[in-house]
Amino acid sequence: MKKNIIRAVVFASACLIAFNYFPEKSIVPNVKIDKLVVLKSKRKLLAYENGVLIKTYTISLGINPIGAKEFEGDMKTPEGIYTINDKNPNSGYYKNLGVSYPNDHDIKHAATLGKPTGGDIKIHGLRNGMGFLNKFQRFFDWTYGCMALTNKEVEELYQHVPIGTVIEIKP
């Protein structure tokens, strides 16, 4: 009985390690992503070039993922149409792509609540020094409202997504 349990634990550990480090298909060179679509309920980020789906990523969201971001500190990921407005190679979370949150609608809504909108919504990798978590980060929502991927995936988007790219974040 003990031998079977040990075998099962070793097998499960090997499967988890393989999952975490098994390489995924990369975007080919010279692709220019011109639209990103986030499907929050499915934890997916879709990357398009000229209307053709190039790649789908699994993401983590804000700790409180249901509903649109309403104000600073609510731990929600925004919903709406934004653009990629910045690229930061020196982020505290590997690299990041800035999202143009808040838009006019977000500002007006937060004002009706008497709260600040917040900002600094990003597509980012893992906290510096935590890259070994790799794909394990996908198992739970852990950001303050951003969209998180593995460091390799953020690197790929960083190379293929120009500033000004539209990002539509859906429920």
Ordered structural domains, the chain, with CATH: 28-170 (2.40.440.10)
Sign of CA dihedral 49, 53, 56, 60: positive
Residuewise pLDDT in 10s, the chain (171 residues):
787 787 777 776 776 667 776 677 889 889 999 999 999 999 999 999 999 999 999 999 999 899 999 999 999 999 999 999 999 999 999 999 999 999 999 999 999 999 999 889 999 999 998 888 888 899 999 999 999 999 999 999 999 999 999 999 999
What is the distance between the alpha carbons of residues 150 and 132, in angstroms, rounded to a whole number? 9
| 124 counts as catalytic | yes
Of the candidates 15, 105, 109, 146, the residue annotated as catalytic is: 146
| 15 counts as catalytic | no
**For the segment 5-25, what is each residue's pLDDT rounded down to a tens digit?**
877 777 767 766 677 766 778
pLDDT given at position 28? 86
The pairing of beta strand 147-148 with beta strand 166-170: unpaired
Give the gyration radius of the chain's Cα atoms. Answer: 18
Q: Going edge to edge, which strands form the sheet with 96-99? A: 52-58, 44-49, 35-39, 166-170, 80-88, 96-99, 122-124, 147-148
Of the candidates 15, 105, 109, 124, the residue annotated as catalytic is: 124
**For the segment 67-92, what is each residue's pLDDT rounded down to a tens digit?**
999 999 999 999 999 999 999 999 99
pLDDT given at position 112? 94
Strand-pairing partners, residue 44, are 39, 58
pTM: 0.88
Residues 6+ apart with CB under 8 A from 153: 57, 125
